[in-house]
Amino acid sequence: MRLVLVGPPGAGKGTQAVFLAAHYSIPHISTGDIFRANIKNETELGKLAKSYTDAGNLVPDSVTNEMVRDRLTWDDAQNGFLLDGFPRNVAQAEYLRAILAEKSTPLDAALEFSLENSEIIRRLTGRRTCRGCGSSFHIEFEKPAVDTICDKCGGELYQRPDDSEEVIANRLSVYADQTAPIISFYRNEGLLITIPALGEVSEISTRAIAALSAAVN
């Protein structure tokens, strides 16, 4: 299975990516994880990526494309992969199509998670992160025992700058301008599968597997 996940920030792509990668026994390739590792280690790439993500903007194609090309040459990706966070625009989608065509290994599907902006804002503004261990909580859906203290390590919980309502609104605007057009791209390619991303995690996972099974032979 060669699969791309698409949808707005906060639609739950990362959570579903972990499940789907395990279900299909393929690597979960997340550009977000790569960027976070570089930011944590304060590499030059990390500093550059952080300057964009802190403002709620997308990392430029030039920083991302060759990273993805290289990752897809690893042994674990030869029998399939799940891309989470790439492509983010039509130019990247065309780039991905070209590098897969070189190996005669086209995508099987692009799975879209659909969710209203009001629900996205509710989900993201409620997130809290531990300064100590990095664990995530939510003021509605996954409350800590004490509002500002991590259940796991006792560290301070805080709202990340990119989870503020202002930054989220900017992220959604950027998504609408730059990323949403890839939905039309993959629809025209005959690869788009759309499912609603509202409900329990397990419900969405079941919905995704059923949709992929029906569409991909």
CATH number at residue 63: 3.40.50.300
Q: Note the pLDDT tens digit of each residue in 61-70.
A: 887 887 788 7
- Rounded CA gap, 86 and 177, in Å? 16
Q: What is the pTM of this model?
A: 0.77
Strand intervals (E) in 139-213: 157-158, 192-196
The answer to whether residue 138 is domain-embedded is no
Do 52 and 152 form a contact (C-beta atoms < 8 A)? no
Active site residues: 13, 88, 127, 160, 171
The answer to whether residue 129 is domain-embedded is no
The answer to whether residue 143 is domain-embedded is no
Query: Domain limits at 109?
Result: 2-118+166-215
137's enclosing H/E stretch is strand 136-138
pLDDT at residue number 217: 65
The answer to whether residue 173 is domain-embedded is yes
pLDDT at residue number 35: 75
Q: Is 105 exposed, middle or buried (0-12, 13-18, 19+ CB in 10 A)?
A: middle
The answer to whether residue 154 is domain-embedded is no
Do 157 and 150 form a contact (C-beta atoms < 8 A)? yes
Do 202 and 209 form a contact (C-beta atoms < 8 A)? no
Contacts of 104 (CB under 8 A, 6+ apart): none
Which residues in the chain land under pLDDT 70? 217
- Rounded CA gap, 132 and 198, in Å? 31
The answer to whether residue 160 is domain-embedded is no
pLDDT at residue number 212: 95
- Rounded CA gap, 155 and 128, in Å? 12
**Structural domains counted in the chain:** 1
The answer to whether residue 159 is domain-embedded is no
Q: What is the dihedral of CA 26, 48, 38, 79, to 10 degrees?
A: 20
Q: Note the pLDDT tens digit of each residue in 98-134.
A: 999 999 999 999 999 998 888 899 888 999 999 999 9
The answer to whether residue 148 is domain-embedded is no
In this structure, how many other beta carbons lie within 10 angstroms of the beta carbon of residue 117? 15
